[in-house]
């Protein structure tokens, strides 16, 4: 089978597997992803799939195996306290080698839990993700859940905070008790909103008691499940929280190589030269988070679709506009673009506004360094 046929075969199997679980939102996501992948080679197929998606109603993804047990709700507002995340990833998980090793170790322990138990050991049951917003913490949790074929339940701790802290405590207990009895992975998002330092004089006693309750729950978490937590502000966490988590995974903003991989992935179905643009934009978008990059690329794609213009022209505008870029940064980008071999000196000048003479001088200095 050729490459396209292989991909069609693989996607069909994934669609069938997802459909058999009865999770409608997951099925829709798989179809949406396939419609993008085969847009260039099978435009009629893409149009048909898009039409089906537009006709299909949406609904909340049910909890497999536990649909008969309703999700916990706030007793006053009757709003659900948990969100069930789809187990199908929109994009490829892109992380550093260290994070990949940590997540692989977590999966290996879960898949070999019987071997661990023979030696009186249990698989890791509590994981803390730290790092700035948009760097892949939630996606990593979704990826682990998808690999273990378990539903991911997310509790946004900032969202359940109530003006009546006693009610907040009850809500958290409801959620934790529910998750303990369910074959799932629980993610506590915005952990710092509750698990703040207990020596913080600005915090009232009830909130400090919540931290104590949370510590006890982490200690008592059953080895059969995984409790994950995420924070954008690790410096605010109570020191005792750190000791409770068996695994701490630190996320950072993506490197240039990771940005190149992400941009290439986002543009692969739209452009033949996606690899080149991945290299170019990796210099321009350095310092941004994965979510910021995805948002910017998608806005550019939408603008090109609405105007009926070339996506390449819109991407070039991202460089030409250079929002927030200093003269020094533009020079660094121009020289990096030329050094990478993906553009000529003239093209680097057109995109960044940096004089070709400046680029030539930089190239000459680099050549002299390599000859030393």
Range 29-38, long-range pairs (CB < 8 A, 24+ positions): 29/86, 29/88, 29/90, 30/88, 33/88, 33/90, 36/269, 37/7, 37/11, 37/269, 38/4, 38/7, 38/8
In the chain, helix, strand, coil percent, each to 5? 60, 10, 35
- Using one digit for the tens of pLDDT, what is the confidence trace for 274-309? 888 898 888 889 889 999 999 999 999 999 999 988
Look up residue 234 and give its DSSP letter: G
Rounded to two decimals, the pTM is 0.75
Q: What is the mean pLDDT of residues 318-345?
A: 79
- Is pLDDT of 321 > 80? no
Out of 55, 73, 99, pick the residue that ends a domain.
55
Which pair of structure tokens corresponds to residue 150?
């378990």
Residue 69 falls within a domain, yes or no? no
Position 59 confidence tier, pLDDT thresholds 50, 70, 90: very low
Alpha-carbon dihedral angle through residues 5, 11, 17, 21, given to the nearest 10 degrees: -150
Same domain, residue pair 234 and 262: no
Percent of the chain with pLDDT over 90: 29
Same domain, residue pair 225 and 319: no
Residue 350 falls within a domain, yes or no? yes
Nearest to 93 by CA among 203, 202, 254: 254
Count of structural domains within the chain: 3
- State the pairing for strand pair 126-130/152-156: unpaired
What φ, ψ does residue 115 adopt, rounded to 5°? -65, -35
Residue 66 falls within a domain, yes or no? no
Which pair of structure tokens corresponds to residue 298?
């998608």
Which pair of structure tokens corresponds to residue 164?
């009546």
* Cβ(156)–Cβ(106) below 8 Å: no
Out of 192, 218, 250, pick the residue that ends a domain.
250
- Is pLDDT of 186 > 90? yes
Sheet strands (E) in the chain? 83-85, 126-130, 152-156, 185-189, 226-231, 247-250
Residue 219 falls within a domain, yes or no? yes
Residue 72 falls within a domain, yes or no? no
Position 50 confidence tier, pLDDT thresholds 50, 70, 90: confident
Same domain, residue pair 262 and 162: no
Domain that holds residue 38: 3-55
Distance between CA atoms of 85 and 138, rounded to whole angstroms? 10
Same domain, residue pair 261 and 236: no
* Cβ(142)–Cβ(187) below 8 Å: no
What is the reported pLDDT for 196?
Answer: 66
Residue 76 falls within a domain, yes or no? no
Out of 203, 219, 250, pick the residue that ends a domain.
250
Q: What is the CATH number of the domain that holds 89?
A: 3.40.50.300
- Using one digit for the tens of pLDDT, what is the confidence trace for 69-91? 677 776 666 677 788 887 777 78
* Cβ(213)–Cβ(171) below 8 Å: no
């Amino acid at each position: 089978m050729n490459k396209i046929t292989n991909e069609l075969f693989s996607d069909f199997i994934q669609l069938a597997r997802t459909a058999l679980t009865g999770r409608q939102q997951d099925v829709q996501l798989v179809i949406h992803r396939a419609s993008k992948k085969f847009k260039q080679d099978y435009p009629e197929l893409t149009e048909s799939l898009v039409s089906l998606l537009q006709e299909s109603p949406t609904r909340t993804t049910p909890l497999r195996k536990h649909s008969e047990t309703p999700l916990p709700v706030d007793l006053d507002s009757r709003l659900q306290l948990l969100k069930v995340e789809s187990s199908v990833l929109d994009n490829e998980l892109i992380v550093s080698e260290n994070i990949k090793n940590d997540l692989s170790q977590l999966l290996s322990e879960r898949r070999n839990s019987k071997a661990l138990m023979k030696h009186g050991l249990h698989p890791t049951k509590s994981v803390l993700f730290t790092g700035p917003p948009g760097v892949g913490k939630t996606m990593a949790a979704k990826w682990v859940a998808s690999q273990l074929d378990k539903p991911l339940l997310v509790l946004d701790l900032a969202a359940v905070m109530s003006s009546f802290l006693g009610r907040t405590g009850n809500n958290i207990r409801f959620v934790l008790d529910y998750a303990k009895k369910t074959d799932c992975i629980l993610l506590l998002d915005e952990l710092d909103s509750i698990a703040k330092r207990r020596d913080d004089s600005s915090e009232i006693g009830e909130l400090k008691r919540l931290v104590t309750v949370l510590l006890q729950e982490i200690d008592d978490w059953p080895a059969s499940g995984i409790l994950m937590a995420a924070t954008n502000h690790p410096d605010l966490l109570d020191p005792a929280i750190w000791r409770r988590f068996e695994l701490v995974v630190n996320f950072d903003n993506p490197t240039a190589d990771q940005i190149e991989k992400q941009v290439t992935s986002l543009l692969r179905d739209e452009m033949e030269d996606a690899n080149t643009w991945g290299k170019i934009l990796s210099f321009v978008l350095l310092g941004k988070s994965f979510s910021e990059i995805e948002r910017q690329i998608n806005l550019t794609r939408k603008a090109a679709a609405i105007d009926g213009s070339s996506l390449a022209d819109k991407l070039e505008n991202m460089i030409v506009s250079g929002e927030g870029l200093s003269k020094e940064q533009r020079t660094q980008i121009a020289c990096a673009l030329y050094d990478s071999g993906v553009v000529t000196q003239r093209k680097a000048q057109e995109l960044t506004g940096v004089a070709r003479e400046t680029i030539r001088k930089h190239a000459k200095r680099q050549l002299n360094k390599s000859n030393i």
